[in-house]
Structure 1
Amino acid sequence: MISAQDWADTRRLWDYHQMGHALRPCSVAIGLGSHDLGVADTAVELYRRGLAPLLVFTGATSPTTRDRMPRGEAVHYQERALQLGVPRAAVLVEPCARNTGENIRFSRALLQEAGVDVSSVLLISKPYEERRAYATARKLWPEVEIVSASAPLTLDEYVDSIGDARLVIDMLVGALQRLLIYPEQGFMIEQQVPHDVIDAYERLCGRGFTSRLLRDEEGQALSQTRR
Structure 2
Amino acid sequence: MISAQVWADAQRLWDFQQMGHEPRPCSVAIGLGSHDLGVADATADLYRRGLMPLIVFTGATSRTTRDRMPRGEAEHYRERAMELGVPASAILVEPRARNTGENIRFSRTLLGEQGVPASSVLLISKPYEERRAYATARKLWPEVEWISASTPMTLTGYVGSIGDARLVLDMLVGAHQRLMIYPQRGFMIEQHIPDDVGAAYERLCDAGFTSRLVPDNPEAK
What's the TM-score, normalizing by structure 1? 0.94
Amino acid in structure 2 at the alignment position of 1:61: T
Name 1:208's counterpart in structure 2.
208
Report SS of the residue matched to 1:205: helix
Shift of 1:146: 0.2
Corresponding position of 1:143 = 143
Instruction: Look up the equivalent residue of 1:153 and give its one-letter code.
Output: M
Q: Point out 4+ residue stretches in structure 1 off by more than 6 angstroms.
A: none
1:216 CA drift (Å):
3.3
> Identity of aligned pairs, percent?
77
Match for 1:91: what amino acid?
A: I
Q: Which residue of 1 aligns with 2:187?
A: 187
Q: Tell me, in whole angstroms, the C-alpha distance in 2 between the residues paired with 1:72 and 1:65.
A: 8
In structure 2, the partner of 1:100 is 100
Correspondence list, 1:108-187, <5 A? 108-187=108-187
Q: Which amino acid aligns with 2:178?
A: R
Deviations 1:188-225 (A, max 9, x none): 000000000000001111111111111237xxxx9xxx
Structure 1 regions of 5+ residues with no counterpart? Answer: 223-227
- Which position in structure 1 is the counterpart of 2:62? 62
Alpha-carbon distance in structure 1 between the residues aligned to 2:3 and 2:84: 40
Match of 1:225 in 2: none
Residues 42-83 of structure 1: per-residue CA shift (max 9 Å, x gap): 000000001111111000111111111111100111111112
> Match of 2:57, SS?
strand
Q: How many residue pairs are counted as aligned between the two chains?
A: 218
Partner AA of 1:8 in structure 2? A
Instruction: Give me the whole-angstrom Cα distance separating, in 2, the residues matched to 1:167 and 1:63.
Output: 12
* Cα distance in 1 for residues equivalent to 2:173 and 2:98: 20
